[in-house]
Structure 1
């Protein structure tokens, strides 16, 4: 029997179900708290630090987490991380492609050109005849059949290559630690004139702090031109469109090799925090603010450029 009361109850139940379903299906976007992540690489620590500084000065609450590569990408898919400033293309393709394909992660913009990412040796090892990755196996004893990589989850390219029988490196071990661990091992080897093969990339102060040479022969794994790469800003699905002011900033942000090399040097060689390094490089390149903040407002809707100009002058 339909009564006004029963109809009211049914409508209330249906309304509750509709609201509950809508709430469950609605994307979870908090445009005030912006969560960035990076895998512990100094270049991404620096670019994430610059982004965090700008966002915080514009009235947002930005944070940066250090996560392993696979954890970081899964966190973006699961909406626990909003932004990652360092998709190295093509070096990271194997990691990120499934997420780009299913749409859970979106590419916002290219933020750096002219990068490279592959294996290298000290110059004295290169001069001794190791100029190609296919030369390594000839000197397995000198290298102790070891390749020095980054943190677990970031070395899959070379690990997969070894498992597939490439470069005659069967039985070789990829030593996984961290960027700092790898650099410490490189520093120790160079000091003792020992042979070492290690993951290298540019931009990075290692290219200035050490006399190193990149190995040929990895075009089929790391890509041509010594793993020549572009770096891209990425965000979780829908983030840039739901937070358009932040999205505009991310779209505008580009860096130069020189700027990143200097910023990373401040962090690695001078012990600066990422915020200190970011502020100092912006002070040296104030014209970058004109590009980065074009069309960007503060969180409260004011013009962004005067706010940041006052900050870097303080």
Structure 2
């Protein structure tokens, strides 16, 4: 091989190597976040995407149902999910954890609540426990209100009905969106009409609806501690090894119930703010939180992550 031909071959080798390295780096710098259309999960997702953007990552948010979210994580079509409510999602998520295709990873919000609720005037009239629901079937029009179809909470309610647990066999599950369901609950509560619905905390519903969570949940329903829940961040298999810097950020990102309640309340008071801005506005007012989240985290270029995110926040307000 002539020296000139060797130089051409070597140049082609270098160019190919650099091209492949660029493609690999680009792939590692893109994070796909699975989300569901719940206010709290959406806020967490938007905040995480904003931080990632400030660090130099490209993000893609996919809004999916809960079952499809786990299929996406298992098939490497999504990298991370911030809305694994446990134990209520156990029937959907545990098989993916056991297979190793999805990693439970980190508890991002302990002390949450996820169970059936009712307006407080109903509780004061005797509807306090799961076993009381059937006693007031006529007043409730034999309906229990859930959120979107395929949601784990809906599945639990339907299972309770199908198995006639707590005498609920005559009831019908009414599936709807979070927004529509809560609008109906608020209207019913204001007009003293009876209703039982799927409630959770944190959420602004706890501030704007005079509501009471029912007791009586079991391990077969919303958990044995009256629906007290822990929300987890899940990642796909191999994500931590593939993206150690982003994985460090996700392991640091924890959300208190009070933090989320405050963000959601501000969003309710000013809907034009939007979920992303509501979350970022809270972080700008509470820098200690994002400084802890970004400890040990850098930009894609290797610079301090907290400095980059602070500059990003300043550009947003």
TM-score of the superposition, structure 2-length normalised?
0.87
Aligned-pair CA distance for 1:82: 1.1
Deviates more, 1:273-282 or 1:197-206: 273-282
SS in 2 for 1:79: coil
Q: Structure 2: which 5+ runs fail to align?
A: 1-23
Between 108-117 and 303-312, the greater mean CA deviation after superposition? 303-312
Distance of 1:65 and 1:277 partners within structure 2: 20
Aligned to 2:101: 104
User: Which residue of 2 is the match for residue 289 of structure 1?
Assistant: 290
Task: Work out whether residues 116 and 203 of structure 1, in 8 Å CA contact, stay in contact via their aligned partners in 2.
Answer: yes
CA shift, 1:173, in A, is 0.7
Tell me, which stretches of 5 or more residues in structure 1 are unaligned? Answer: 1-26
- Matching of residue 254 in structure 1 with residue 254 in structure 2: yes
Which secondary structure does the structure 2 equivalent of 1:80 belong to?
coil
Quick check: 1:116–1:225 contact (8 Å CA) kept in 2?
no
**Which residue does the alignment assign to 1:128?**
125
1:153, CA displacement in angstroms?
Answer: 1.0
Aligned pair count?
A: 288
Per-residue deviation, 1:267 = 3.2
Map Cα deviations across residues 91-132 of structure 1 (whole Å, 9 max, x no partner). Answer: 111110111111111022111111111000000000111001
Residues 20-78 of structure 1, C-alpha deviation per residue, up to 9 Å, x if partnerless?
A: xxxxxxx9x93222111221111101111111110011111113222111111111111
Partner in structure 1 of residue 183 of structure 2? 184
Tell me which residue corresponds to 2:210.
Answer: 211
**Residue 66 of structure 1 pairs with residue 63 of structure 2:** yes
Q: Distance in 2 between matches of 1:239 and 1:266?
A: 34
Matched, 1:265 2:265: yes
Whole-Å Cα distance in 2 between the matches of residues 61 and 263 of structure 1? 25
Residues in 1 aligned to 2:165 and 2:314: alpha-carbon distance in whole angstroms: 53
Report SS of the residue matched to 2:110.
Answer: strand
- 1:64-103 matched pairs, under 5 angstroms: 64-103=61-100
Residue-by-residue CA offset, 1:221-260 (whole Å, 9 max, x unaligned) = 1113321111110011111211111111011111111111
Aligned residue number for residue 16 of structure 1: none
DSSP-derived class of the 1:141 partner: coil
- Specify the alignment match of 1:228 in structure 2: 228
Matched, 1:298 2:295: no
Deviating runs (4+, > 3 A) in structure 1? 266-269
**Offset of 1:80 from its aligned partner?**
1.1
The equivalent of 1:46 in structure 2 is 43
Work out which of the residue numbers 32, 36, 39 in structure 1 matches 2:33.
36
Does the Cα contact within 8 Å between 1:53 and 1:278 map onto a contact in 2?
no
TM-score, scaled to structure 1: 0.88
Q: Distance in 2 between matches of 1:260 and 1:136?
A: 30
Q: In structure 2, how many angstroms separate the alpha carbons of the residues matched to 1:65 and 1:178?
A: 17
Q: Is the 8 A contact 2:207 2:265 kept in 1?
A: no
Aligned counterpart, 2:10: none
Question: In the alignment, what sits opposite 1:193?
Answer: 192
Q: Secondary structure at 2:212's aligned position in 1?
A: strand
